[in-house]
Amino acid sequence: MTTPLIDATEMYLRTVWELEEEGIIPIRARLVERLGLSAPAVSETVARLDQEGLVHVAPDRTLELSEHGRQLAIGVMRKHRLAERLLTDVIGLPWEEVHNEACRWEHVISDAVEERLVALLGSPATCPHGNPIPGLSAPPAAPEGELVTMADAAKAGGPAAVVRISEQLQGDVTAMRFLREHGLRPGATAALVVDGGGVIATVDGERVEVPDHATDHVYVTAT
């Protein structure tokens, strides 16, 4: 997980912010899962971030970003998602590979380069996976209808529009390649049902079973 291009402080702050964005209560156990690190290593780093005034550990063990910590986290995520846009729209890297590459770029993009990227890319509202790019002047339009996971939408049945993919799933290149190959990218519409215990998606007449671990990380709205 660690390379010379990865800043541990930024990585932790971004992950706490990412959990908040997904509606998941950020606690150390969730960081262990997301970062693939040991519990003692995570606890040690969280304690350091607390001492530095970037994170506060609440009595219920919830991790709360300080104002400074939040601004740092937002800045890293903004650079991450701009890098994903550059890698997809300009460089042409495969959609399923841009997340892991952007995880390295996010720590080395300067503020000056970020400004140039925003101009070059035309102030994009979202990353290639449908997630808002935080801190830009033009936020994306809110999707019509309630945003739910593909798993929950399939239980209700019917057509749904793919809106965004969680950061956690983006790190799974195999799952992301499956979504791309079967047309399940943001903006696509699929008919969803539960059949035989699995989620079946039909896109442009093609019927496929979506991997179980992916259905909780693809967010859709009913159409």
Q: What is the CATH number of the domain that holds 213?
A: 2.30.30.90
pLDDT above 90 as % of the chain: 89
Q: Per this entry, what is the length of the chain? A: 223
pLDDT at res. 116: 96
Is a pLDDT exceeding 50 seen at residue 195?
yes
CB 162 within 8 A of CB 176: no
Residue 3 has pLDDT above 50, yes or no: no
Higher pLDDT, 4 or 171: 171
Q: What is the mean pLDDT of the chain?
A: 93
N-to-C CA span, the chain: 39
Of 122, 140, 158, the residue at which a domain comes to its end is 140
- Residue 141 sits at the vertex; the CA angle it makes with 138 and 142, to the nearest 5 degrees, is 135
- The larger pLDDT score, comparing residue 30 to residue 135, is at 30
Model pTM? 0.89
User: For residue range 42-85, what is the model confidence (pLDDT) as tens digits?
Assistant: 999 999 999 999 999 999 999 999 999 999 999 999 999 999 99
The domain boundary, picked from 114, 140, 166, lies at 140
In this structure, the answer to whether residues 8 and 71 fall within a common structural domain is: yes
Let me know whether 39 and 74 are in one domain.
Answer: yes
Greater model confidence, 65 or 141: 65
Per the structure, how many domains does the chain have?
2
Q: Are residues 63 and 127 in the same domain?
A: yes
Q: What is the model's pLDDT at position 185?
A: 97
Same domain, 126 and 151: no
> Which ranges constitute the DSSP H helices of the chain?
8-21, 28-35, 39-51, 67-85, 98-105, 111-121, 150-156, 167-170, 173-181, 212-215
